[in-house]
Chain A
Amino acid sequence: MEKQSDLLLDIQHLHTAYRLQGDFYDAADDVSLTLKRDKILAIVGESGSGKSTIASSIIGLYDHKNTKVTGDILYNELNLVGLNEALFNKVRGDKIGMIFQDPLASLNPLMRVGDQVAETLYYHTDMDEKARHARVIELFNQVGMPRPEEMYMNYPHELSGGLRQRVVIAMAIACKPEIIIADEPTTALDVTIQAQILDLLEDIQRQSHSGIILITHDLGVVAETADEVAVMYAGQIVERADVKTIFENPLHPYTRSLLNSMPQNEDEDEDLHVIQGTVPSLKNMPRTGDRFAARIPWIPASAHEENPQIHEVEPGHFVRCTCWKSFRFEDQNAETEA
């Protein structure tokens, strides 16, 4: 067995820009992340924060005409940015597996689900047909599908949402990838099914020693599964730390506001915390200064950095900008009352 390094994916200064009416706008702006073996890295953010953009940049599934990707995505010395399509096809599906949000949209409605999983094996391995069939049955067993032989012959519409997502997971892990990217894998599912799918992902990760990037907007899911967390706002990572630190000692105003707006507080009759304003759209995103500043107006401009950088405030805990030092929720209340 070859020597395996702990670092699976090293993203440095990634910029992904989309073309909107002729001009390019950065949807992911200077993102630096690392994924380690045996870890689940969660990327959290609201819609429009650029979390899915990172996923599509890693796996190379973007419109090459209208997207500009710069920076480095290093996988075993191989830079995935600007890799040609022929080489990318060897990595994608084989070394990096992807699980999408909507299982119905990512399955071919006219093909038996078993054949769809076998297709991945056809392209990436030299198994014969019989071996592929056996492997698919094995995979179906692994992802907990009842009666795998029968399931092989079913079409996607014949399966329930939870089973469909299991097929997609079987497809993603068919070639034993080292990296699994799961983009909102449970958003379309009920809570009980969600719990099962998340357990399944954890089991797979433990067995195969892979690294998982879990993209989600659900802080509860993050708290239950992740090892490391990156919080994104308006295309930038605003805070990065291990999961315990993020929930027990969050520092960036955005992280704290988000946690505070969860309807889980013990005092049910109190109003939920509201973050003023809205997430800026890609075109209107401020390119200088702190992007979150507009939504915490009671903090004086002098508290923000002119060009906010990521700082390591304690070992392994990164926060963008210095405004967190003067951020308190009580100040907002005082202001609205005044």
Chain B
Amino acid sequence: MGKEIIQIKDLKVYYPIRSGFWNRITDYVRAVDGVNFSINEGETYGLIGESGSGKSTTGKAIVGIEKVTGGQIMYKGVDITKASNRKKLNYNKDVQMIFQDSMSSMNPRKRIEDIIAEPIRNFENLTTDQERDRVQELLDIVGMPSDAIYKYPHEFSGGQRQRIGVARAVATNPKLIIADEPTSALDLSVQAQVLNFMKHIQQQYNIAYLFISHDLGVVKHMSENLAIMHRGRLVELGSRDEIYKHPMHIYTKRLLSAIPQVDVANREAHKAERERVEHEFLENQSKWYDADGRVFPLQEVTPNHLVALPEGGIRAAIQEEQNEKESD
């Protein structure tokens, strides 16, 4: 286990709702509402949620392209929600991002050389030759041919473009990369390619990833620890094995049971299980969500497994878990 690289403490991002004659702020959309987690050096941390759960907003807030309403993001012991601190620590060099849509995240009028060199030019002073060598080296890492530097983004396929996106993110030797749904626009075989490259680069350069996705299969493949987000808050947080083998929160169970399984023989049983969980989810709203429909604060169940439970709900949940195990 490495040491923590970044710590998110009670992060809040609110968007104001304006209404009335004076157009005053009447309420807030709580996109991210008190999120706590931390990422270790060189690990992949998965952040799962459905659309609208606030997972992308969390990612953007960490990179600094979303204004933080409250809470702290601690990097090397300093709160980087203040812009001056970000500059002092070279934070913007150390933390990079890979976007979902590779086409719209690259300037269509620039050559690949300029696209990849842009972050280098921002942070380092290199001669033209040195810079070109560096770009070649980066293209090499992601397995692209060397003549790619003279081409434009539209000349590549989706998978190749996403690999260029990876190369650009790695250009400044970052410590942490926020990957926001990096493969959800790609076909299965291409997705495998990009994921493999991301893993190789991680092992080579000891980079930590925050892997944001709605695809639980991909997150399971990539990450050691993960958090599940719902309605702007975390519902469950823990190691991969804990969450996939012993999910405790009803929302986690619901998500896991909804993943299509490649198991034709047992599909009826799988469907019955999914319907049972869905029914339980609809019936027991009050047990898992408070009166305003918010998720409860996280409580520790086992050392590496936190679940959002109401006050005093831990014992009941553990009891239930044991009953289930026995009935298996």
* CB of A188, distance to nearest CB on chain B (Å): 9
A150 beta carbon closer than 8 Å to chain B? no
Q: Considering the chains assembled together, what is the distance between the CA atoms of A304 and B196 in angstroms?
A: 30
Determine if B217 and A264 form an interchain contact, defined as CB atoms under 8 angstroms apart: yes
A61 beta carbon closer than 8 Å to chain B? no
Choice from A218, A268, A272 contacting B260 with Cβ under 8 Å:
A218
Most buried by B among A194, A261, A273: A261
* CB of B42, distance to nearest CB on chain A (Å): 14
From residue 263 to 292 of chain B, which have CB atoms closer than 8 A to chain A?
A: 263-265, 267, 270-271, 274, 278
Determine if B260 and A224 form an interchain contact, defined as CB atoms under 8 angstroms apart: yes
One of B28-36, B145-153, B165-173, B186-194 at the interface: B186-194
- Which residues of B have CB within 8 Å of A248? 264-265
B195 beta carbon closer than 8 Å to chain A? yes
1/0 contact string of A236-266 vs chain B (CB within 8 Å): 0000000110011000000001110111110
B107 beta carbon closer than 8 Å to chain A? no
Q: Considering the chains assembled together, what is the distance between the CA atoms of A195 and B258 in angstroms?
A: 6
B262 beta carbon closer than 8 Å to chain A? yes
Closest to A257 in B: B189
* CB of A280, distance to nearest CB on chain B (Å): 11
- Which residues of A have CB within 8 Å of B191? 261, 263
Determine if A274 and B196 form an interchain contact, defined as CB atoms under 8 angstroms apart: yes
1/0 contact string of B237-258 vs chain A (CB within 8 Å): 0001000000000000011011
Q: Considering the chains assembled together, what is the distance between the CA atoms of A78 and B195 in angstroms?
A: 48
Choice from B159, B189, B264 contacting A247 with Cβ under 8 Å:
B264
Determine if B220 and A263 form an interchain contact, defined as CB atoms under 8 angstroms apart: yes
Determine if B159 and A262 form an interchain contact, defined as CB atoms under 8 angstroms apart: no
* CB of A102, distance to nearest CB on chain B (Å): 14
Most buried by A among B187, B191, B222: B187
Answer whether A220 and B264 are a contact pair too, CB < 8 Å, given A258-B188, A258-B189, A261-B188: no
Determine if A274 and B264 form an interchain contact, defined as CB atoms under 8 angstroms apart: no
* CB of A5, distance to nearest CB on chain B (Å): 28
From residue 195 to 225 of chain A, which have CB atoms closer than 8 A to chain B?
A: 195, 199, 217-221, 223-224
Determine if A271 and B264 form an interchain contact, defined as CB atoms under 8 angstroms apart: no
Determine if B258 and A191 form an interchain contact, defined as CB atoms under 8 angstroms apart: yes
A192 beta carbon closer than 8 Å to chain B? yes
Q: Considering the chains assembled together, what is the distance between the CA atoms of A17 and B31 in angstroms?
A: 48
* CB of B178, distance to nearest CB on chain A (Å): 20
B216 beta carbon closer than 8 Å to chain A? yes
- Which residues of B have CB within 8 Å of A161? 51
Determine if B260 and A262 form an interchain contact, defined as CB atoms under 8 angstroms apart: no
Answer whether A272 and B195 are a contact pair too, CB < 8 Å, given A217-B188, A224-B261, A261-B189: yes
Determine if A271 and B189 form an interchain contact, defined as CB atoms under 8 angstroms apart: no
Determine if A46 and B262 form an interchain contact, defined as CB atoms under 8 angstroms apart: no
1/0 contact string of B201-215 vs chain A (CB within 8 Å): 000000000000010
Determine if A264 and B262 form an interchain contact, defined as CB atoms under 8 angstroms apart: yes
Q: Considering the chains assembled together, what is the distance between the CA atoms of A319 and B244 in angstroms?
A: 36
- Which residues of B have CB within 8 Å of A279? 187
From residue 22 to 59 of chain A, which have CB atoms closer than 8 A to chain B?
A: 46-47
Determine if A274 and B189 form an interchain contact, defined as CB atoms under 8 angstroms apart: yes
A335 beta carbon closer than 8 Å to chain B? no
Size bin of chain A's contact surface: 35 or more
Answer whether A217 and B187 are a contact pair too, CB < 8 Å, given A191-B255, A199-B271, A263-B217: yes
Determine if B264 and A244 form an interchain contact, defined as CB atoms under 8 angstroms apart: yes
Q: Considering the chains assembled together, what is the distance between the CA atoms of A147 and B257 in angstroms?
A: 27
Determine if B264 and A243 form an interchain contact, defined as CB atoms under 8 angstroms apart: yes
Q: Considering the chains assembled together, what is the distance between the CA atoms of A108 and B64 in angstroms?
A: 38
Most buried by A among B192, B193, B254, B271: B192
Determine if A247 and B188 form an interchain contact, defined as CB atoms under 8 angstroms apart: no
Answer whether A191 and B188 are a contact pair too, CB < 8 Å, given A263-B218, A271-B199: no
A288 beta carbon closer than 8 Å to chain B? no
Determine if B216 and A191 form an interchain contact, defined as CB atoms under 8 angstroms apart: yes
* CB of A97, distance to nearest CB on chain B (Å): 23
B50 beta carbon closer than 8 Å to chain A? yes
Answer whether A191 and B189 are a contact pair too, CB < 8 Å, given A243-B264, A263-B195, A264-B217: no
- Which residues of A have CB within 8 Å of B216? 191
A278 beta carbon closer than 8 Å to chain B? yes
- Which residues of B have CB within 8 Å of A219? 188, 262
Q: Considering the chains assembled together, what is the distance between the CA atoms of A161 and B263 in angstroms?
A: 28
A190 beta carbon closer than 8 Å to chain B? yes
Further pairs besides A161-B51, A220-B259, A271-B199: 16, Cβ < 8 Å: A46-B187, A46-B188, A46-B189, A191-B216, A192-B50, A221-B260, A224-B261, A224-B270, A224-B271, A243-B264, A247-B263, A259-B262, A261-B188, A263-B222, A268-B240, A274-B189
- A-B CB contact pairs (8 Å), 24 listed: A47-B187, A190-B51, A191-B258, A192-B254, A192-B278, A195-B260, A220-B261, A223-B262, A224-B267, A224-B270, A243-B264, A244-B265, A247-B262, A247-B263, A248-B265, A258-B189, A261-B188, A263-B192, A263-B195, A263-B220, A264-B220, A272-B221, A275-B192, A279-B187
Task: List A residues at the B interface (Cβ < 8 Å).
Answer: 46-47, 161, 190-192, 194-195, 199, 217-221, 223-224, 243-244, 247-248, 257-259, 261-265, 268, 271-275, 278-279
Task: List B residues at the A interface (Cβ < 8 Å).
Answer: 50-51, 157, 159, 187-193, 195-196, 199, 214, 216-218, 220-222, 240, 254-255, 257-265, 267, 270-271, 274, 278
Identify the 3 closest CB pairs spanning chains A and B, nearest first: A220-B260, A263-B221, A272-B192
